[in-house]
Chains A and B, each alone.
Chain A
Amino acid sequence: MLKDISFGQYYPTGSILHRLDPRVKLLIMLAYVILIFFVKSYIGYILFALMVISTALIARIPLKSLFRSVKAVIFLVLFITIINVFFYKGEGEALWSWWKLAVYVDGLVFASKMALRLILLVLGPALLTYTTTPMELTNAIESLLSPLKLIKFPVHDLAVIMSIAMRMIPTLMDETDRITLAQKARGADLDTGNIFKRIKAMVPILVPLFVCAFRRADELALALESRCYDATPNRTTYRVLKLKGRDFLFLIMFLVFMAAVILDVALPIYYPCDATWIEGFYDNAFFSLFGL
């Protein structure tokens, strides 16, 4: 049941992308997420899609598994698309209208871009978690935040808290499964009835789950203390992160991609005339594909 959640599950293939410095991957992903909000043209989205797909190919992750991560937000995407298609007030003649609903060409363009943006927004970070273990991510965050130590920010503690939280997710999922089975064996009915009934039916699972979480937290705190957590102010790490040739290679590749995207975003601003032409061309080209 809970095992079906595929978003964020590490997918080991040992590719060059898996061996990349996690800090590089994290920074690229950060830039990716910020960048995608500036994209306005279909060209930009195609660039992003190409980047995601080529990265997935390099990482040897089957596209099917990658697209499964979209499943988690598919309802959000559909909802936003439908709302935009029917409620967007565009210029010119409406293609179809009824009561307060109307479909405009502009609305279709806007909705399709919105959907693309959301899907790409999920795919990128999914690629990061598919190729990077939670531990590596934590190390990357700790390393990237380490300048904050200068202002006495507890970077290491933050990293430990993060890694414990991530470590606990599968444990608590196992525990949930176990408690669910035990209550089902006593005839608990979790799958029928209206929403209120179902929420009420969760109580026999949630209470033991919380008890278990607190117990584990308690035990873990004891274990940490008995191993003198916090006794050494400057802890070293077993795996020291160090940038290698492949990291620079990917950084440069991403910078080229970034340049292309920025060009695509900036051109219409500096050459408004040409840009409308380009924009119009692409939009029309896109719709002529669908016979609109």
Chain B
Amino acid sequence: MAIETKNLSYTYSVGSPYQKTALKDVTLHIHEGDFCCILGHTGSGKSTLLQHFNGLIKRTSGELRVLDFDLNRRKPDYKSLRFSVGMVFQYPEYQLFDDTVSKDVSFGPKNMKLDEEEIKKRVREALTLVGLDPDEIGEKSPFEISGGQKRRAAIAGVIAIRPKILVLDEPTAGLDPKGKKEIMSLVKSLKEKLSPTVVMVTHDMDLVAEYATKVIVLKDGEVAFDGTPAELFNNNEIVNDCSLRLPSGVALANELREVGFDIDHNSITIEQVVDNLIKEIKPKENDNA
């Protein structure tokens, strides 16, 4: 089990006029190897939940277990936890600060107190993984490279600690379709090569349909849905209740069903629906012939 919570609740500014409950009795399980997407509107508690996963917010009520870390104990080892759970915030490029990309990427490993050789190795590895040339881009200032490169450099700064769980908060925000695709294929390759468990917050349902193996929908701090993407998008009640948009694949499938095609409910991406449709049509053509 990668992440396990039981009745996790959190309230901000207890006792002040600005008191606000962000999480209410959240119980969920994220297994190792899951690509888990967390959906929900602004203020639904997504960020609060994510920040619990690496101890940036300290658990106050309910149970929380991340990898081998039991956060219910009195003094959990938050520092080691943060080196096991890599957190990529929204617009991560705004966290770059050092005078070269390589130095910036080495910030995490340096905080881990690794030796020089190991730090160098990890910086090269991280930059190569995100598709930046350690010798060329690595020596440049983070402020003279392009926007897309900045985001990659920032992600490299997180994965240089070799996290077992990668947590991403809207990694594709503010990117054009091409940049979006590049970042998502990067996340996918990082999942295969480095961090077997990925937790991602997104508002893009097409990404959910394409990448997620598990979806959790938060609404007003509570878990409104927990299951697979196909289950979610075929559950009209939840979709309407949480006012989620349908992925283009599911929307297409619904339209096709209306005009009489029998599309499998497990087809949720455009590619799957098209394959399904072709299979539907082909036998009929054979019949005609």
| A residues neighboring B (CB under 8 Å) | 3, 175, 178-179, 181-189, 203-205, 207-208, 211-212
Contacts and interface: CB of A to CB of B under 8 A. Distances in A.
Contact of B108 (A181, A186, A205, A208): A186
A112 B237 CA distance: 68
Contacts of B143: 211
Interface string B103-136: 0000110011000000000000000000000000
Contacts of A211: 94, 143
A268 B135 CA distance: 80
Closest A-B pairs by Cβ, 5 of them: A187-B111, A207-B97, A185-B87, A182-B95, A186-B108
Contacts of A183: 95, 107
Contacts of A179: 94-95
Nearest to A186: B108
Given A182-B89, A186-B157, A204 B107 contact: yes
Nearest to A11: B17
A196 to B, nearest CB: 17
18 contacts: A3-B13, A179-B95, A181-B51, A182-B92, A184-B82, A185-B54, A185-B86, A186-B82, A186-B107, A187-B79, A187-B82, A187-B112, A189-B111, A204-B98, A205-B97, A207-B97, A207-B98, A211-B94
A187 B161 contact: yes
B83 interface: yes
B157 A181 contact: no
Nearest to B95: A182
A181 B79 CA distance: 13
B96 interface: yes
Contacts of A182: 87, 89, 92, 94-95
B56 interface: yes
Interface residues of B, number: 24
Contact of A212 (B92, B94, B161): B94
A207 B86 CA distance: 22
Contact of A187 (B51, B83, B97): B83
Nearest to B112: A187
Interface of B: 13, 51, 54, 56, 79, 82-83, 86-87, 89, 92, 94-98, 107-108, 111-112, 143, 157-158, 161
A175 B98 CA distance: 18
A225 B103 CA distance: 38
Contact of B158 (A178, A186, A212): A186
A203 B87 CA distance: 20
Contact of A203 (B86, B92, B95, B97): B97
Contacts of B96: 208
B89 A185 contact: yes
A9 to B, nearest CB: 10
Residue among A181, A182, A189, A204 facing the most chain B CB atoms (10 A cut-off)? A182
A183 B96 CA distance: 9
Contacts of A204: 95, 97-98, 107
A8 to B, nearest CB: 16
Nearest to B56: A181
Given A185-B86, A207-B98, 16 more contacts: A178-B89, A182-B89, A182-B92, A182-B94, A184-B56, A185-B56, A186-B107, A186-B111, A186-B158, A186-B161, A187-B82, A187-B108, A188-B107, A203-B97, A208-B96, A211-B94
Nearest to A182: B95
A212 B93 CA distance: 11
Contacts of B13: 3
Contacts of A175: 94
Which residue of B96, B97, B143 has the most chain A CB atoms within 10 A of its CB atom?
A: B97
Nearest to A184: B56
A74 to B, nearest CB: 20
Nearest to A3: B13
B14 to A, nearest CB: 13
B167 to A, nearest CB: 9
Contacts of B89: 178, 181-182, 185
Contacts of B158: 185-186
Nearest to B17: A11
B87 to A, nearest CB: 4
Nearest to A62: B17
A212 B143 CA distance: 12
B159 to A, nearest CB: 11
A181 B158 CA distance: 13
A189 B80 CA distance: 12
A3 B56 CA distance: 16
